[in-house]
Amino acid sequence: MQKRALGKGGLEVSALGLGCMGMSMSYGPPADKKEMIALIGKAVERGITFFDTAELYGPYTNEELLGEALAPFRGQVAIATKFGIKLDASGQQVQDSRPERIRQSIEGSLKRLRVDVIDLYYQHRVDPEVPIEEVSGTVKDLIREGKVKHFGLSEAGVQTIRRAHAVQPVTAVESEYSLWWRRPEEELLPTVEELGIGFVPFSPLGKGYLTGKIDENTSFAKNDFRNIVPRFTPEARKANLALVGLLGTVAEKKKATPAQIALAWLLAQKPWIVPIPGTTKLHRLDENIGAVAVELTADDLREIDSAAAKITIQGARYPEALEKRTGL
C-alpha cells in the first residue's frame, strides 16, 4: 500500500483509509461486531493504516469497536476520532465544543479506543457558540499534555480553518468530496494546499451511489440515513445515473470498477488527499484497495472532467437542517 503525508507534522498514513461509521450506524442496523473486528484486521493485513471514527458514531460503540479491533496493532496504525457533537436528553444531536466538553470527550475516547494518545483529533462540526481559537487552544493544550498528536477540522469553512491554523497548526481537514460533490474545489482545496494541510474526503463513493449498485428501484433499510437525503430520492437517483454511466465507461477501458475509478480520480487530484471509503464487506474492501493501483493519465482526467461538466447532479447532498451545520 502506498503512503501519503497529511499536513507537515509527520503524519504518514496509507493512501486509502477506512471510514468506520457505517459499521455502527447510519446505513441500516449495526453490523455484527465480531465480523467487523475481523474486517478491520483484514484491512490492516492489506496495508491500511488509517481508521476514522467519532465519539458520536453509535454513539460511542464505534470507538469501542475500533479499540478492540486495533488493540493488536498498536503503533502500526493511526486512528482519527472526533469531538464536538453530543446527544441531548431527547436523542437530538447538539454541537458542543466548549473547552470543558472537549476535555470530557478526549478522556472518553482514549478509554474506548484503548490508547494513550489520539493520532488525529477532529472537531466534528464547527460550533458557532465557541470561538475556533478557544477550540484550537484547547487541542493545543491536549497536544502539549501528550493526549493528542494532530489537530483536524471536519466540514469547516476556509476562514475558520485559517483562524484555527493560526493558533494550532491543522494537520487535516475532513469534508465530503467526490465526483458528485465538487464544491471543495472552489475554495477549500486551494486553502488547505496553501497552508500545507492534508485533505480527507469522506463519502468518496457518494454514500455508495458511485459504485453503480444503486438505482431508482433500490430500497434502503428503515433506519438508513439515505432515506432522508434529497440526492437519494428515486427521481434524483434515476437522474444521476448519467454520472455512474461515465464512471462505467472509464472503468471498462481501465479494466476496473466504477468505484475504483471514483477513488482513483480522487487520489489523482492531489498527493495529500487520503479518501476514507467505508464498507462492512471484505470484497468491497478489496475492491476499494484495488483503486490505489489504477492509474489515470492526464488525458483520462481531462476526459472525465469534460464529460462530468456536462452532467448536472440532481438533489441536495443533505437535508437543509444538516447542511446548515457545515461550514462549506
Number of Cβ atoms within 10 Å of the Cβ of 262: 30
How far apart CA 129 and CA 127 sit, in angstroms, is 5
Count CA atoms closer than 13 A to 119's CA, side-chain side.
21
pTM of the model: 0.96
Q: Which cell is 117 given?
A: 494518545
* Longest Cα–Cα distance in the chain: 54
Q: What is the pLDDT of residue 325?
A: 67
Bridge partners of residue 87, in order along the sequence? 93
Which segments within 15-159 are labelled E, that is strand? 18-19, 50-52, 78-83, 85-87, 93-95, 118-123, 148-154
State whether the Cα torsion 324-208-172-68 is positive or negative. Answer: positive
Contact between 121 and 54 (Cβ < 8 Å): no
Q: Write out the chain's pLDDT in tens, 328 residues.
A: 999 999 999 999 999 999 999 999 989 899 999 999 999 999 999 999 999 999 999 999 999 999 999 999 999 999 999 999 998 888 888 999 999 999 999 999 999 999 999 999 999 999 999 999 999 999 999 999 999 999 999 999 999 999 999 999 999 999 999 999 999 999 999 999 999 999 999 999 999 999 999 999 999 999 899 999 999 999 999 999 999 999 999 999 999 999 999 999 999 999 999 999 999 999 999 999 999 999 999 999 999 999 999 999 999 998 887 777 666 5
Question: In the block, which residue shows the cell 472532467?
Answer: 305
What are the structural domains, with CATH classification, of the chain? 3-323 (3.20.20.100)
Of 206, 242, 210, 212, whose CA–CA distance to 226 is shortest? 206
Q: Which cell is 59 given?
A: 454513539
Q: Which cell is 34 given?
A: 465480531
How far apart CA 52 and CA 38 sit, in angstroms, is 17
How far apart CA 174 and CA 54 sit, in angstroms, is 12
How far apart CA 315 and CA 233 sit, in angstroms, is 8
How far apart CA 150 and CA 118 sit, in angstroms, is 8
Residues assigned a catalytic role: 57
Of 131, 165, 162, 166, whose CA–CA distance to 151 is shortest? 165
State whether the Cα torsion 301-302-303-307 is positive or negative. Answer: positive
Residue 75 has phi, psi (to 5 degrees) of: 85, -15
Q: Which cell is 243 given?
A: 454520472
How far apart CA 219 and CA 48 sit, in angstroms, is 31
Q: What is the pLDDT of residue 44?
A: 98
Alpha carbon distance, N-terminus to C-terminus of the chain: 31
Angle made by CA atoms 164, 105, 13, in degrees to the nearest 5: 60
Contact between 278 and 19 (Cβ < 8 Å): yes
State the helix-helix crossing angle for 282-290 and 33-45, rounded to 10 degrees.
30
Burial class (CB in 10 A: 0-12, 13-18, 19+), 210: buried
